[in-house]
Chain A
Amino acid sequence: MIKVRNLKKNFGPKVAVNGISFTIERGEVLGFLGPNGAGKSTTMRMITGFIPPSEGEITVGGFNMVDNPIPAKRLIGYLPENAPSYADMTVQGFLGFTAELRGLRGDAKKKAVNRVVEMCFLEPVRHQSVETLSKGYRHRTCFAQSIIHDPEVLILDEPTDGLDPNQKHEVRSLIRKMGEKKAIIFSTHILEEVEAVCSRAIIIDRGRIVANGTPAELKQRSDSAGVITLRLGSGNASAVAAKIKNLSGVEKSLVVSESPITVRAFPKRKDRSDEVAQAVSDLARKEHWVIQELHTEEGRLDDVFRNITLPDTTTTKENA
């Protein structure tokens, strides 16, 4: 649905986006991650046609965003950063206005407004003016606007920013549900959100893509990925650690605590950690250890995020 090729954007001498390419198909939810100022919002603004790229090509549903913006924009629903809306309008008026700009009139417009009011839980504030609303409601009003025409492509710039945990949960499940039929891009700072919602994540740093993969693949790149933790009811911790270290495929083992006995095993290869876990479990049965916990670490996305983006920020400082 969306093809982005070698996208670049300069603001004066400052390079905001420096050669980003990716594609996304229907049924995918793509998470945009990155530190502040990495170029996430700029990239989204270019994809939605708000700002023209300095270089590169964007096509949405086969339409080029620069040469043929109107049919391309028709396919997109967009929630800009900070969820702007007209303060002087009522929720219903605002949604009706955006529906009309999306070409919905009369009955179709009324139905579309009713649908999104229900989906985004806006019924209690329907006739209130936007400026009297709390941030959460304001945010959802703008979100409702983005899905009013049931678009094939959804672009959401920090859709859960400023929401309370319940509202975050609602928005996430909404995104996940819609992601089955649409192509969705959303940016976030919350890493657990990526794991909960995305089928694929892209990490952007200083205008470039530094990682691109499923959340599971990205987590594999974490230092702690594949580490096996074993907790026992009784026994001698260092003896257990020594026996585990002798298993094939184990790089080293480590006593984390004596009581309760907790031992950590580091596999030689992260992608072979399942075999190591099996071996540890077999060993435990043979030795008649009483297992309280046997756990394989999946890796942590925030470790990966820090590993990828931190060294780069230090080089920026050196360059500057």
Chain B
Amino acid sequence: MTGNVLTIAKRELKGYFSSPVAFVFIVIFLLLSGFFTFMVADFFGRGQANLQPFFAWHPWLYLFLVPAVGMRMWSEERRLGTIELLLTMPISPWDAIIGKFLASWAVIAIALVLTFPVVVTVNYLGSPDNGVIFASYVGSLLMAGAYLAITAMTSAITRNQVVSFIVSVVLSLFLILAGFTPVTDLLVSWASPWLVDGIASFSVMTHFESIQKGVLDSRDIVYFLSVMVFTLFTTGVIIRAHRAG
């Protein structure tokens, strides 16, 4: 079981780095996160030794970049017909689903690790709470995983990568907006607070913001993991339904 997951993850990862996808993603992620942190959020001007302006942009960066990484996950298999090879191998379909997911997640993790200069910078300039920074990194990775699992699901629906990209951007946007402060403020004016809180608790924003405070609360971790488990499970169901015709 684990052997097959690793074999598939290894192949996927090689696939990412033998095409420009991984490099383009990593470079653009680094450029954009640098631009937003230093230019838009005015990291130096704030005079605070934390990475809040860096992490605050992640939900929005991931919104477009993560679907771009994951959109080919299953649609490409279907377009090439290799899905027929993969699923007639003596492996469980879950091996393939998890293996592919982990490989794409690893690409994002690599990009995230490569943002280390910003950690070095803030530590050089001041004395930030590195516990908070660590927690934020974990939260960011979990959030990316949740987006990516959604993209895995949408890429299983279609053999067209563009459709897969757009649908997953829309779904991810919904998960952001449900807890985005301007939206919740709007809702509060006519909905009861428990409803607004209920909707917001489905949002990645709510949970990512709470992790950014430096507390890795089990509720937030469970939230991200359950989004992943649910959407990856749905991916399996979709793939099975396609095979059944």
Contacts and interface: CB of A to CB of B under 8 A. Distances in A.
Interface residues of A, number: 35
A21 B127 CA distance: 75
B245 interface: yes
A70 B4 CA distance: 13
Choose among A50, A52, A89 the residue with the greatest number of B CB atoms under 10 Å from its CB: A50
Interface stretch (A72-80, A236-244, A286-294): A72-80
A49 B88 contact: yes
B88 A86 contact: no
A104 to B, nearest CB: 11
A98 B245 contact: no
B7 A100 contact: yes
A97 B15 CA distance: 12
Interface in B59-83: 80-82
Given A52-B243, A86-B15, A93-B14, A101 B84 contact: no
Contacts, number: 76
A72 B80 CA distance: 25
A50 B245 contact: no
Contacts of A174: none
Given A89-B18, A142-B85, 15 more contacts: A45-B84, A49-B88, A51-B244, A70-B91, A73-B89, A73-B90, A78-B85, A80-B81, A84-B81, A85-B85, A88-B19, A89-B15, A97-B11, A101-B7, A103-B3
Interface of A: 9-12, 45, 48-52, 70-71, 73-74, 76, 78, 80-82, 84-89, 93, 97-98, 100-103, 129, 142, 145
Interface of B: 3-4, 7-8, 11, 14-15, 18-19, 80-82, 84-85, 87-92, 243-245
7 contacts: A70-B92, A78-B84, A86-B15, A97-B11, A101-B91, A102-B90, A142-B85
